[in-house]
Structure 1
Amino acid sequence: MPDMAALDTLPDAPHALPADAVLRHLQADAMGLTEAEAAARLAQFGPNRLPEAARRGPLMRFLMQFNNVLIYVLLGAAALTIGLGHLVDAGVILAVVLANAVIGVVQEGRAEQAMGAIRQMLAPHAAVMRGGRRLTVAGEALVPGDIVLLEAGDKVPADLRLLEARGLALQEAMLTGESVPVDKGIAAGAPDAPLGDRHGMAFSGTLVTKGTGRGIVTATGAATEIGRIGGLLAGVETLATPLVRQMDHFARWLSLLILLIAGLLLAFATFVQHRDFAELFMTVVGMAVAAIPEGLPAVMTITLAIGVQGMARRHAIVRRLPAIEAIGAVSVICTDKTGTLTRNEMTVATVALPEGRHVVAGEGYAPDGAITPPGGHLGGIALAAALCNDAELHCKAGIWGVEGDPMEGALLAFAGKVLPEAAAGWQRLDAIPFDARHRFMAVLNRGADGAVLVHVKGAPERVLNMCRDQWGPGGRSR
């Protein structure tokens, strides 16, 4: 068995090392680890899962909703109001406080569930080589040095240094924001290459869209790139929003002012006017309770709750109510790109034909949208887009999505806008899948009338070199 102590330090930049150097560093070979070696490394490095941050329990989350100066004042006001016998007023005050706490607990719980979903991004199973045999193991059982086999449709179970790549492409939008799958190879890159340019690596949680590959595990669990992101989320510093700071400042000064005035009135009436102290005390307490704006938290809570529900309808979960005010105060948002960073969608916007350009309306993958101007040879383009395609569109709860390559999904949506049943009646006889070496995809289809056609899509320079004529307003021309 290899010396396990030598694996205390994993490769710092495996993307910059040749594949054989990574194998040597991890004391592994192409036949994979033995079961004994895998068990020893699992005991050393731990399971391949993201650590779960410590969470506050439901009771603590509920109690923390009362950690506010104005809430303290309201609770004190409720106690004094009960002492004065005004039970209805006390009930209203307590209802406002409890409503604020319940809404806060619910929203915080939903947000923590959404943030915790990142832990589900690791693959549940993986195909590996162990002792020269191909096995399927649980994703948590992967260890540094394991040889993982990748196929189209697989989710990468850990960070891998690729040893083989045959037409391999990965969807890395979750890490880089790029909506287009990235072609992978085995060549080493620069040590300081950004994440999106590490073409010799396959990162945990990304999806294999096409091709096959083989890689060696270089990092598992929290040491992966997705684990690093989870660690950053766990270490986010909690900051008070402008609204919370203003309300806290207002509550402190208001409480101090009310107590000061109440004390002055009590002292003046007692020592100057010589009133009965017991009767006077209850009167001053009543005035102090009346001076507390118990309706203010209710108005603030209702307003923020309306904002939270509005954000939820747009699929944005707000962890705490006052954050709505902070979002409303934002004037500039800096991101590295628009749309694909969060939605990972592509849409056909323009179609260029010999007779001119056509503008395609609509968003996302919904096959709905007008084309301006209509007509022309759009039907032929739509037929090619629908048939020379391996993706599928689906609609769940009114939201359109794609299974497969986002670009092919955009072409399917375009085809649906031109010819809703473009692929009906056609049978695929053969196909040449897209490959980075020839840069095109071709399909052979037979129509319902027996006609046989070949449709091709790919890189413009590659497809144009394959063409002899073009079809335009005047018919076929060279």
Structure 2
Amino acid sequence: MTPPMLEADLTVAAPHARPIDDLRSALRVDGDGLSAADVAERLEIAGPNLLPEPKRTPGWLRFLSHFNDTLIYILLAAAAIKAVMGDWLDFWVIMAVAIINAVIGYVQEGQAEKALAGIRGMLSPEATVLRDGRWATVPAADLVPGDIVRLMPGDKVPADVRLVEATQLRIDEAALTGESVPSSKDPAPVAHGAGVGDRASMAFSGTIVTGGQGAGIVTGTGAATEIGKIQALVGEAGSLDTPLTIQLASFGKKLTLVILGMALAMMVIGRYLHDMPLPDLVSATIGFAVAAIPEGLPALVTITLAIGVQQMARRHAITRKLPAVEALGSVTTVCSDKTGTLTKNEMTVRTMLTPVGRYEVSGLGYDPTGEITPAGGSDLAALLAVADLCNDASLERVSAGADVDSARTLGWALVGEPTEGALKVVAMKGGSDAGGARRIGVVPFDSAHKFMATLNESPDGSRAILVKGAPDRLLDRALTQRGADGSEPLDRAFWENAVDELSGQGLRVLAAARKPTRADTVSADELIDLELLGLWGIVDPPRPEAIEAIADCHAAGIRVKMITGDHAGTAMAISREMGLVSSDDAPVLTGAELEALSQEQLKGVVQGVDVFARTSPEHKIRIVRALQSHGEVVAMTGDGVNDAPALTRADIGIAMGIKGTEATKEAAEIVLTDDNFATIRSAIAEGRRIYDNLRKSVVFLLPTNGAQSLVILVAVVFGLTLPLTPVQVLWVNMVTAITLSLALAYEPAERGIMNRPPRPTGGSIVSMRELGFILAVSVLIGGATLGVFALALARGVDLDVARTEAVAMLAFGQLAFLLNCRFLGRSSLTLDVLRGNRVIWWSAAALLVLQALYTYVPFLNDLFGSEPLDAVGWLMPIAASVGVFFAVEGLKALRREREARV
């Protein structure tokens, strides 16, 4: 009696390296497949062939988490103060700001859960399986280890499968390994330590069969598949706070301490120095807190970033998480996948070589626009005829789509395999004309012999066998070569040297041959005594715009590192061509070498290596973590499911929108709608601009609160009449928030924004030097307000009129300071301050209109305690505001002079 199966019995270590008979014995499966009873028993142990649902945080808890921020605490404290004061309208306005902020964050941030759902969607829905001696189609979820499955062209592999049969089987594993061409499969065991991309004896769940057929034994289902392991990596990778969230948290804590300290000092001074009644002192302290707390700051940050999201979308970058917008501006290292990101993922013939000459081919990808130089003779025509006729691929016109994902320019799409597409394109570039040739027979490509052959008949009735394949295999079968004067003896040394030269350039090399015949059929055994025609050098070409983008990134102090599943030689050749590395002896770290390094050892070498080849998902995460350990802000790009864990772990995950998998898009913070690395360069520049504008907005906003709180503080400390009432403080906050605060979000980029190094991470969004500047401006505006208030009282006007002038001074002083803030690093005493941002003037006009309403509309007079002003009442605030503008310019000049000396 067969003993019951245990969970350990279904786990087979390194199935790619085990002989088939050994694997059958370990999984207790025979030639008839599993029985129904076996399946039921194993399904009970292994569970369904589905990726497990992640542990989900309840929605209400995720929503509340967006209130866990020091600035939001300040906002809620302001609302609580308003409630204590009985100002319920103000209370609900402030609460609405906090709730809207949380809703935006809740909607924007789906991240890991959606990433896992995207990966689960990659699994095959059905599978063809042998059970009880019969083939049947069953749901892929019902597969168990030990099942025998069959694979056909177009199938999505339903589980991890150890192949037992493979006839010309080729599988597209780009989403898993990053390789740009389908992998040929062979049932023979491979080395125990082979990486995923080198396991030719395996077919992996979620990959696509592009040609041939095969069968194999299921060795892993659900979480035990390679995709399942990637899902676990996504869940474990963890995400990091962006530099902005770190800086805002630090700034909020410091601001809270400053406000509480000043309020306490004010209470002590008012109580013990001026013996103020406790109720009046508490009221004044609450008014001070309302003035000092920048309740509009969280909304300002959120709205500024949201405006940045819209502007980045126009540059083909869709942002899924608001803080990622500015985090791009602090990126120090971009880790990029090669295939489809730096390159077009469209194989292209770049060089052709015959015994007569060498031919260079222009043009990229599957667009047949291009030229072959120099013009060739019969040798080139024969080579192009093989490219055209010994080929199963075809090209079709593609129309521009209506939606974002399919919106491509009118072009060409490949039907077939990438390598054959490259040959079809070069034949079209060379004007090759089949001339009515008819295919009679074919020897399909097989990984065992590594060539393809067709028997073709010309219109004149002559027949020839045309062959393309691996150069070494065709050299072994060739007797002659096509020379300038016709057929001549084969010069094997010439061809071997040529293959070495092309391979050294990172090109994939294929050879072409032909053989006249009168036969009606063709077989592999007949392919001897061939005439070798020439070689094709094929490459997945770099995107031209990506070369320029890499140069711009280097100028901006940003390192670009290639992390690819492709071979080291190809990766290095592409990296040299793109200017990613500058020398031929630049180091390349392969996955096998990386595997031998501890994490500490990797930290020691990671900054000196710009090319990583034959990497796995685990390696990508290790590389990202090693870079982050040096304080690097890492952006990771990718399009395959193998990139999803590293995108989740990186500071900024950037996914390709057209060729990227859903898993990758959902794991990323940024999705590029044009799959163009150059868009990353533009997005980084946009991120720097947005951060500059955000910092300008914060520096602009704080003196409003500083000046208001300073006015109240001085009045309490010196026992003066309060120049502002709490409701007037609210008016100034409101009117500047809805008019001026957002104007700086539309500022154009500063000069040389991509010629400066990335900003350092950590610290506060406002430096100590800027904080001193803010305090000085607060003193200027606050002092001017106290001066205007005192002069108004000295003229003998009513208290309400004097307070109305003080409010006007605060509003106009803030408008003057807005112009100062347009150029924090240079002088605003230039005509440039009057142009480049029309929103500034719309905001200024809105402020003037609102201030006029505040002053002259009776309803607002009653609500806010304001009074109409005469001409002198307007002249004083306006003149003082102009003085504030020039005084702040003086402060900026002193700052620039001091910084120049440092």
Q: For residues 86 and 327 of structure 1, what CA distance do their matches in structure 2 show? A: 40
Q: Which residue of 2 aligns with 1:432?
A: 443
Q: Which residue of 2 aligns with 1:210?
A: 211
Q: Which residue of 2 aligns with 1:236?
A: 237
- The Cα shift of 1:215 comes to 0.8
SS in 2 for 1:149: strand
Whether contact under 8 Å (1:151, 1:211) holds in the other structure is yes
- Structure 1 range deviating more: 287-296 or 437-446: 437-446
Q: Which residue of 1 aligns with 2:407?
A: 398
Aligned partner letter, 2:345 = E
SS in 2 for 1:74: helix
Q: Which residue of 2 aligns with 1:352?
A: 352
SS in 2 for 1:4: coil
Q: For residues 179 and 25 of structure 2, what CA distance do their matches in structure 1 show? A: 33
- Structure 1 range deviating more: 285-294 or 9-18: 285-294
Whether contact under 8 Å (2:439, 2:454) holds in the other structure is yes
Q: What is the 5 A alignment of 1:165-204?
A: 165-204=166-205
Q: Which residue of 2 aligns with 1:150?
A: 151
Whether contact under 8 Å (1:151, 1:208) holds in the other structure is yes
Q: For residues 288 and 345 of structure 2, what CA distance do their matches in structure 1 show? A: 60
- The Cα shift of 1:63 comes to 2.4
Aligned partner letter, 1:203 = F
Whether contact under 8 Å (1:177, 1:342) holds in the other structure is no
Aligned partner letter, 1:234 = G
Q: For residues 79 and 382 of structure 2, what CA distance do their matches in structure 1 show? A: 74
SS in 2 for 1:222: helix
Aligned partner letter, 2:407 = G
- The Cα shift of 1:240 comes to 2.5
SS in 1 for 2:276: coil
Aligned partner letter, 2:235 = A
- The Cα shift of 1:26 comes to 0.8
Q: Which residue of 2 aligns with 1:281?
A: 282
Aligned partner letter, 1:398 = A
Q: For residues 90 and 355 of structure 1, what CA distance do their matches in structure 2 show? A: 81
Change (3 A) 1:257 1:159: same
Q: CA RMSD in A?
A: 3.8
Change (3 A) 1:300 1:445: farther
- The Cα shift of 1:252 comes to 0.7
- The Cα shift of 1:229 comes to 0.9
Q: What is the 5 A alignment of 1:385-464?
A: 385=387, 387-391=389-393, 395=398, 397-399=406-408, 402-412=414-424, 430-443=441-454, 456-462=467-473
- The Cα shift of 1:447 comes to 8.9
SS in 2 for 1:135: strand
Deviations along 1:304-341, one digit per CA (max 9) or x if unpaired, are 44555577678877653334444443323456x62358
Q: For residues 361 and 164 of structure 2, what CA distance do their matches in structure 1 show? A: 44
Aligned partner letter, 1:144 = P
Deviations along 1:453-476, one digit per CA (max 9) or x if unpaired, are 87543223445665856487xx86
- The Cα shift of 1:211 comes to 1.8
| Gap regions ≥5 residues in structure 1 | none
2:8 is the alignment partner of 1:5:
no
Q: Which residue of 2 aligns with 1:45?
A: 46
Q: For residues 233 and 342 of structure 1, what CA distance do their matches in structure 2 show? A: 24
Deviations along 1:27-65, one digit per CA (max 9) or x if unpaired, are 111210111211221122110010011223443333222
Q: For residues 147 and 340 of structure 1, what CA distance do their matches in structure 2 show? A: 34
Q: For residues 131 and 267 of structure 1, what CA distance do their matches in structure 2 show? A: 89
Change (3 A) 1:285 1:6: closer
Q: For residues 409 and 103 of structure 1, what CA distance do their matches in structure 2 show? A: 46
Whether contact under 8 Å (2:350, 2:360) holds in the other structure is yes
Q: For residues 448 and 282 of structure 1, what CA distance do their matches in structure 2 show? A: 102
Q: For residues 428 and 114 of structure 2, what CA distance do their matches in structure 1 show? A: 36
Whether contact under 8 Å (2:346, 2:366) holds in the other structure is no
Whether contact under 8 Å (2:162, 2:202) holds in the other structure is yes
Q: For residues 29 and 395 of structure 2, what CA distance do their matches in structure 1 show? A: 42
Q: For residues 103 and 460 of structure 2, what CA distance do their matches in structure 1 show? A: 65
Q: For residues 255 and 347 of structure 2, what CA distance do their matches in structure 1 show? A: 55
- The Cα shift of 1:99 comes to 4.5
Greater fraction helix: 2
Q: Which residue of 2 aligns with 1:100?
A: 101
Whether contact under 8 Å (1:431, 1:442) holds in the other structure is yes
Q: What is the 5 A alignment of 1:238-257?
A: 238-257=239-258
2:67 is the alignment partner of 1:55:
no
| Gap regions ≥5 residues in structure 2 | 489-902
Q: TM (normalized to structure 2)?
A: 0.47
Aligned partner letter, 1:3 = P
- The Cα shift of 1:80 comes to 3.5
> % of aligned pairs identical?
46
Whether contact under 8 Å (1:270, 1:277) holds in the other structure is yes
Change (3 A) 1:328 1:268: same
Aligned partner letter, 2:451 = F
Deviations along 1:273-305, one digit per CA (max 9) or x if unpaired, are 233444443343233233233444344334444
Q: For residues 387 and 309 of structure 1, what CA distance do their matches in structure 2 show? A: 49
Whether contact under 8 Å (1:349, 1:361) holds in the other structure is no
- The Cα shift of 1:430 comes to 4.3
Q: Which residue of 1 aligns with 2:221?
A: 220
Q: What is the 5 A alignment of 1:317-396?
A: 320-334=321-335, 338-339=338-339, 345-348=345-348, 350-353=350-353, 356-362=358-364, 365=365, 367=367, 370-371=370-371, 385=387, 387-391=389-393, 395=398
Q: For residues 88 and 423 of structure 2, what CA distance do their matches in structure 1 show? A: 68
Structure with larger Rg: 2
Q: For residues 77 and 451 of structure 1, what CA distance do their matches in structure 2 show? A: 92
- Structure 1 range deviating more: 182-191 or 144-153: 182-191
Aligned partner letter, 2:216 = G
Q: For residues 193 and 351 of structure 1, what CA distance do their matches in structure 2 show? A: 32
SS in 2 for 1:250: helix
Whether contact under 8 Å (2:80, 2:91) holds in the other structure is no
SS in 2 for 1:293: coil
SS in 1 for 2:136: strand
Change (3 A) 1:245 1:164: same
Change (3 A) 1:296 1:443: farther
Whether contact under 8 Å (1:81, 1:90) holds in the other structure is no
- The Cα shift of 1:124 comes to 0.8
Whether contact under 8 Å (2:348, 2:366) holds in the other structure is no
SS in 1 for 2:166: strand
- The Cα shift of 1:151 comes to 1.7
Change (3 A) 1:414 1:251: farther
Q: For residues 283 and 453 of structure 1, what CA distance do their matches in structure 2 show? A: 100
Whether contact under 8 Å (1:445, 1:454) holds in the other structure is yes
Change (3 A) 1:185 1:323: same
Aligned length: 471
SS in 2 for 1:339: helix
- The Cα shift of 1:381 comes to 6.4
Q: For residues 237 and 225 of structure 1, what CA distance do their matches in structure 2 show? A: 19
SS in 2 for 1:255: helix
Q: For residues 311 and 381 of structure 2, what CA distance do their matches in structure 1 show? A: 40
